[in-house]
Structure 1
Amino acid sequence: MTSREDEALARAAVTALTDQLALTSKPGLPDRSHPTHHTLRWSAKSLTPGLAAMAAAARRTGEPTPGLRAELGAIGRCTEHSVTLAGGGHRGALWTLGLLVAAAAINPTEPTATAKRIAAFPDKGAPRRPSRGSSVSAKYGAAGARGEARAGFPHVRRALDALTAGTPMPQSRLNALLTIMSTLQDTELLYTAGPSGLRHVQAGAREVLEAGGTESAAGAKALTALTTDLHTRGWTPRGSAGLLAGALFLEELSP
């Protein structure tokens, strides 16, 4: 049974995800003007029961354990099925938010460090067939979603620093996204664009930040060019979007 605290964590996580979806304009990613926006928002809300169950499992267990990792994996797979029925999407965000919600239920003052401890255990119930992300990670030596979690979500922490740097919204959120994009080995980009395409996107994100960020005239111009470029190429930094949702969730938890 979930508590009010568990349900509040789940709602905060879903709000972070819907805020990420609404952010405009994200290079290569759908925003509120995209035809799929309403479907993505609807399916994001279907994460709520699963995230609340993850928080409840973590609160009941009280510490990172192999058993908790297995339970979170089982809940996550059931939640993926619910999301598919609701319209799909959000697999990467579910991984990030699920671990962070569980970690926050155990230790709200050090969620990324606690998530790292949870992710260190293998999910013994996971399907043996490799996912596209794990296959791409193995092919190119990228950390991937699992590596990011096992490292304590470094890109989420860097994005959180950008969110709290004093820049007004929405520029702070766009800068946070670009901070992630500038260094993340995004497996979605590696799959669709290869290593050279990934480096191209990383360089474009750095160009915006080095021009003064999205709040500067030069940075805004560079962002527009990057957005047009990714739209033309059909490249989507989906992994960065899920990590931004994680950073927005942690920002909401911050006192």
Structure 2
Amino acid sequence: MSIALRRPSLPGRRLDAEQLGHLASFSLRLEVEIYPKPGLVSHIDDGAHRDMDAELLCRSADTLTPFFCDLAAAGAEGAGMSRLRAIGVAAERAMLDATSGVNTHRGAIFGLGLLCAAAGYRNAIGVRKPLGRLVSERWSEDILSGPAVLRSHGALAARRYGAGGARTEAAHGFPSVYDVALPALHVARGLAPHDQEAIRVQTCMTLIAAVTDTNLLHRGGAEGLHFAQSSAAAFLAAGGVGSPGWRRRAADIHHAFVARNLSPGGSADLLAMALFVDRLEL
């Protein structure tokens, strides 16, 4: 089933809070539309998931739009972490109501939400710093010292395997977005300049190869993470989307992930964040 993507009207890069919120939601929908991406839900199939599909993920993304708008507006008003966290909690509650309890976008609410707040703040004070740096400068201490989601799959895997997880990523300014995903997007545009899906597949594979994804650790342990990273790295080493037959090879990796019940949900969230940031910091 193909998803009808409603591209927001975004004149220029200095966007108001409503435009930022719609861009964040649109970035989540773009991630869903990509295929083949290993183990993840797309408009083609449900990947390694039994509790969600593309329609559910898009409904979730649309449900979150007003909360992303609120986070951008709060950032513009100089809000502290307590206010941002309250909006995030309300967003998670609305997400769970819309999905009948399925956790579709908890990680994205956190990461994209902070980036929305930083974008609103940046517009309000008129600086040109990267959004990730602003997140780190303004909220890193509160991110690390605030209440953790103790029973989330990612948090449990992070504690068990000593991985940093989403809070460490955000507190340090999203290095996986800035040092991995954005450079990969730029390289991919040279490999497949007229194929947006290929560009995003290449970026997704680069993230999977490089990131210690706590979703992979939860589903497959250290062995599953190693399999995922080595599979994505082999795809990239063979030329990635710049080589003939790349779609077949990417689909084979996808099916291998599904057979092992592996889904790199953290990398999917980071890809959506990178698409958001890329639109604002070109």
The TM-score normalised by the length of structure 1 is 0.90
Q: Which residue of the partner structure matches residue 204 of structure 2? A: 177
Work out whether residues 176 and 270 of structure 2, in 8 Å CA contact, stay in contact via their aligned partners in 1: yes
Q: Percent of aligned pairs with the same residue?
A: 33
Structure 1 residue 127 displacement after superposition: 6.2
> Where do 4+ consecutive residues of structure 1 move more than 6 Å?
none
Work out whether residues 37 and 251 of structure 2, in 8 Å CA contact, stay in contact via their aligned partners in 1: no
SS at match of 2:134: helix
Structure 1 residue 34 displacement after superposition: 2.9
Q: Which aligned pairs between 1:115-130 and structure 2 lie closer than 5 A?
A: 115-122=135-142, 126=147, 129-130=150-151
Larger deviation, residues 153-162 vs 10-19: 153-162
Whole-angstrom CA distance in 1 between matches of 2:98 and 2:61: 8
Please say if 1:98 is aligned against 2:109. no
SS at match of 1:185: coil
Closer, same or farther: CA 128–29 of 1 in aligned 2, 3 Å: closer
Please say if 1:14 is aligned against 2:25. yes
Residue among 48, 66, 84 paired with 2:65: 48
Work out whether residues 80 and 139 of structure 2, in 8 Å CA contact, stay in contact via their aligned partners in 1: no
Work out whether residues 57 and 102 of structure 1, in 8 Å CA contact, stay in contact via their aligned partners in 2: yes
Work out whether residues 23 and 31 of structure 1, in 8 Å CA contact, stay in contact via their aligned partners in 2: yes
Q: Deviations over 1:92-115 (max 9, x none)?
A: 111110011111112263101112
Whole-angstrom CA distance in 2 between matches of 1:113 and 1:125: 19
Structure 1 residue 132 displacement after superposition: 2.9
The TM-score normalised by the length of structure 2 is 0.82
Q: Which residue of the partner structure matches residue 114 of structure 1? A: 134
Whole-angstrom CA distance in 2 between matches of 1:128 and 1:249: 25
Q: Deviations over 1:177-205 (max 9, x none)?
A: 11110011111110110011101100001
Work out whether residues 213 and 220 of structure 1, in 8 Å CA contact, stay in contact via their aligned partners in 2: no
Whole-angstrom CA distance in 1 between matches of 2:250 and 2:45: 18
Work out whether residues 22 and 32 of structure 1, in 8 Å CA contact, stay in contact via their aligned partners in 2: yes
Q: Which residue of the partner structure matches residue 34 of structure 2? A: 23
CA RMSD, Structure 1 to Structure 2 (Å): 1.9
Q: Which residue of the partner structure matches residue 225 of structure 1? A: 252
Q: Which residue of the partner structure matches residue 152 of structure 2? A: 131
Q: Which residue of the partner structure matches residue 72 of structure 1? A: 84
Q: How many pairs align?
A: 247
Whole-angstrom CA distance in 2 between matches of 1:138 and 1:125: 16
Closer, same or farther: CA 230–80 of 1 in aligned 2, 3 Å: same
Structure 2 unaligned segments of length 5 or more: list them.
1-14, 47-52
Closer, same or farther: CA 15–235 of 1 in aligned 2, 3 Å: same
Q: Which residue of the partner structure matches residue 148 of structure 1? A: 169
Structure 1 unaligned segments of length 5 or more: list them.
62-66
Counterpart code for 1:15: F
